[in-house]
Amino acid sequence: MADFGADLELEDFRKDAAAWLKANFPATLSGKGQLAMSERSGQSPELAQWRKAIGEKGWATPTWPVQYGGGGLSPAQARVLQQEMAKAGAFNPLLFGMGVTMIGPTILDYGTEAQKAQHIPPIVRGEVQWCVGYSEPNAGSDLASLQTKAVDAGDHWVINGQKTWTSGAQYSDWCGLLARTDPSAKKHDGISFMLVNMRQPGIETRPIALIAGASPFCETFFTDATAPKDALLGQLNVGWTVGKRLLQHERASQTGAIGGGRQAPLSQIAKKYVALDADGRIADLDLRTRLTRHEMDAKTHALTLARVMAESKEANGATNGASVLKNSATHVAQTRAELTLEIMGAQGLGWQGDDFSREEIETVRGWLSGKAMSIYGGSAEIQNNIISKRILGLPDNTQST
């Protein structure tokens, strides 16, 4: 039987959310989430205003507990908020970095009350940046082979080693680090998860220049860096379990389950660049067909995401099913980027200069950087292995006997 009282409450919340967004979200930022998220320096006054407003409201982390500054919303209310943000062209400005998407949820899962009280409120307000220290030069997909060590020095840990592909390390205040604390244990054992302050002399970051022109990744070197004994997240030598949980949160963040904002339909963008027929349709039948297929794929992904979110006990969908959605989100995003460049023609070749709009330049660079989507957060092949073993229950033929 339908709960009409609950439905009415949701509609009341929808009106409140729409009114709050109208009063607090700068109209000049509407639909510009990708551009705004790329502004690491020289942040516009409007973006700073929006970060402050949504952080203080707690709606950048809508389902997190109120006691730590979160929104305290139910999953149903969070979905309504996301819908209203999409209508307004609004976006979550705190998704750059790992605090809201990965570290924060993992601290809520495994942290002590003291750790939650220390770390969650600044994450909610967007006052700190976090990175994740996982991959190493010889430990990528085989992450459990990591060699960064944390040695017990009595009242603190001493950390030595190297991480690579550390997203946003050069901007970060804190790092969620996987380090080996028991070298004699099996490789999946003897690993601990630590919350490490990046602002210390023993840590050096070296940005890695990428083909898209930006340097979002770093090599990160730990040379006698330190962390207090209470920096452990979860139990000593059980960090692999904590680390896997964080990866579930990461994959959930890459499915479109978190955030806001919306993209203009490709058919709408195409009409600015390509010929139309007498009925106002895209004249190129092949292009029109491929755009239609893409929009069907995008709609299928969105509906599947909505179903998974509705069925999931986790407010952000952080389950093994996120692997399915991560792969489908990657396919939709990469196909959209390819089609957008094709539509723009010569204007889709711009790198810099006055002959190209900012949106055209960002499209080219986004297309290049988007190639990494099928690698980061666990490659498409790793996601397929998770799907086959943990969802479909197929036998694991990758293990030696």
Which residues are part of the catalytic machinery? 250
Q: Tokens 């195409």 map to which residue?
A: 270
Q: What is the 3-state secondary structure (H, E, C) of 223-288?
A: EEEEEEHHHECCCCCEHHHHHHHHHHHHHHHCCCCCCCCCCCCHHHHHCCCCCECCCCCECCHHHH
Distance of alpha carbon 212 from alpha carbon 215, whole angstroms: 8
Distance of alpha carbon 105 from alpha carbon 85, whole angstroms: 22
CB–CB of 98/132 below 8 Å? yes
- Angstrom CA distances, 274 to 280, 288, 345, 370, stand at 11, 11, 9, 24
Distance of alpha carbon 306 from alpha carbon 328, whole angstroms: 14
DSSP, residue by residue, 297-343: HHHHHHHHHHHHHHH-SSTT--STTHHHHHHHHHHHHHHHHHHHHHH
- Angstrom CA distances, 135 to 138, 251, 355, stand at 8, 16, 40
C-alpha dihedral, 237 to 240 to 246 to 250, nearest 10°: 150
**Cα maximum dimension of the chain:** 79
Q: Which helix (H) or strand (E) holds 179?
A: strand 174-180
Which tokens sit at 17? 């959310």
CA gyration radius, the chain: 22
Distance of alpha carbon 384 from alpha carbon 361, whole angstroms: 33
